[in-house]
Amino acid sequence: MAKKTPTQLARTLASVVDAPKLHAHYPVVPGSLTAHLQLRSGETFTGGSFGAASATVGETVFTTSLVGYPESMTDPSYRGQLLVFTQPLIGNYGVPRRTRDSYGLLKHFESERIQCSGVVVSDYATKYSHWNAVESLSEWCAREGVPAITGVDTRALVHILRGQGSTLGSLSAGAQPLDTASIAWVDPNADNLVAQASTDDIRVFNPAGDVHVALIDCGVKYNIIRSLCDQGARVSLVPWNHDIMANLSAYDGIFISNGPGSPTHCTETISQLRRAFAVYQRPIFGICMGNQLMGLAAGLNAYKLRFGNRGHNQPAVDLTNGKCVITSQNHGYALDDSVMPEGWARYYVNANDGSNEGIRHLEKPFRSVQFHPEAKGGPLDTGYLFGEFVDSVRAAKQAGLAATLSEDISASAQAATA
């Protein structure tokens, strides 16, 4: 047999296509509750339960973040997902107190509750130590009804997910795994998760701000609101399907947040943005889901990534200057930017897989990024984008730039007849 090259060998080792289905069992301390992670593709992992004694189904995804599990677990973008942490030790600094800042936002969480459907870790720390901790990760998960499993070979699990892509999974607590024939394998991405995560009412933050920004809530993280307020903006948080066209001139700028699931469900938001693009002259900015919705409104298509980009270590290259930044990301869909619509250009690109990381308009002040400049837990490389956005909003307001073309034309006509 011919000797394999290093590349051929690496591909062989990395392949899970022909491997037998994995059934891994972790010995549980006598008297402790057992938990089971069952993938729809047939693999099973048995370990210890440290969350709620319940069962759930979700899309099994992984994050490479080393820190920030309270922020990740409360990120609405993880709604409907079983969250696998590749960092081996989780829970060692417990769960912080629910302290609020001057804007009324929780300081240490990205929303009011745990958003992921379940938690999967290699090694849960039963004892925690941190000056700000008030409870254990186990107590938190149990209190909020979220099942969690420890003792999983997360390296093997991620190996599977990278090979076959993000997969539906069932996470249950009990002596025996569930009968696979009885599991309702419901794909959360088939639902409009944005509508579930969005606010129902308009909420105003930092009302004394000198510029007024409409923040379209697709499942917003609290630190996005905080970052805009810290820059001096008055923020009106509006529902995902809010009719922004009805009062467009009231906004000095428009911001579209992150959010869970597929962007294709948000047809109302896409329609609103498409109409705004045609007449609005002030700055528009989007993050994560906001990037995808702006892309769809501009004429691009979106596709599902094989296993997504989730973690705090994703490199993105700014195509305007060649600078590479390390970013926090959490998305399973991306824009197909192989052919850009007229008037639009690629803004950032992922240095790992070449996927889209942002778009920008060539003439109007519209741009968006796929990553999270507001990242809690870091990195902080791109936090300046909030300052740039609010500064551009402020400059447009100070320059007296009309909100829409129709207002600009009307003002010009009145001046001509005066």
The answer to whether 262 and 300 are in contact (CB under 8 A) is: no
CA-to-CA separations, 233 to 200, 256, 289, 390, in angstroms, rounded: 22, 15, 21, 7
Whose CA is closest to 213, among 195, 193, 230, 194? 230
Q: Is 20 exposed, middle or buried, given 0-12, 13-18 or 19+ CB atoms closer than 10 A?
A: exposed
Q: How far apart are CA 70 and CA 376, in angstroms?
A: 10
Q: How far apart are CA 289 and CA 299, in angstroms?
A: 15
Q: How far apart are CA 286 and CA 266, in angstroms?
A: 14
AA letter at 157 = L
Query: Which sign does the torsion angle of CA 115, 132, 224, 356 carry?
Result: negative
Q: How far apart are CA 390 and CA 249, in angstroms?
A: 17
Residue in this structure with the two tokens 């809530």, named with its chain if needed: 217
Question: Would you call 288 a catalytic residue per the annotation?
Answer: yes
Per-residue tokens: 112 = 């009011």
Residue in this structure with the two tokens 């677990």, named with its chain if needed: 73
The answer to whether 374 and 387 are in contact (CB under 8 A) is: no
Where would I find the beta strands (DSSP E) of 132-244? 133-135, 148-150, 167-173, 203-205, 211-216, 233-238
DSSP, residue by residue, 28-64: PPTTSPEEEEEETTS-EEEEEE-S-S-EEEEEEEEE-
| Beta bridge partner(s), residue 24 | 45
Catalytic residue among 312, 331, 361, 372, which? 372
Instruction: Determine if the peptide bond prior to 379 is cis (ω within 30°).
Output: yes
Q: How far apart are CA 380 and CA 91, in angstroms?
A: 23
The answer to whether 131 and 96 are in contact (CB under 8 A) is: no
Catalytic residue among 288, 331, 357, 361, which? 288
Catalytic residues: 288, 372, 374
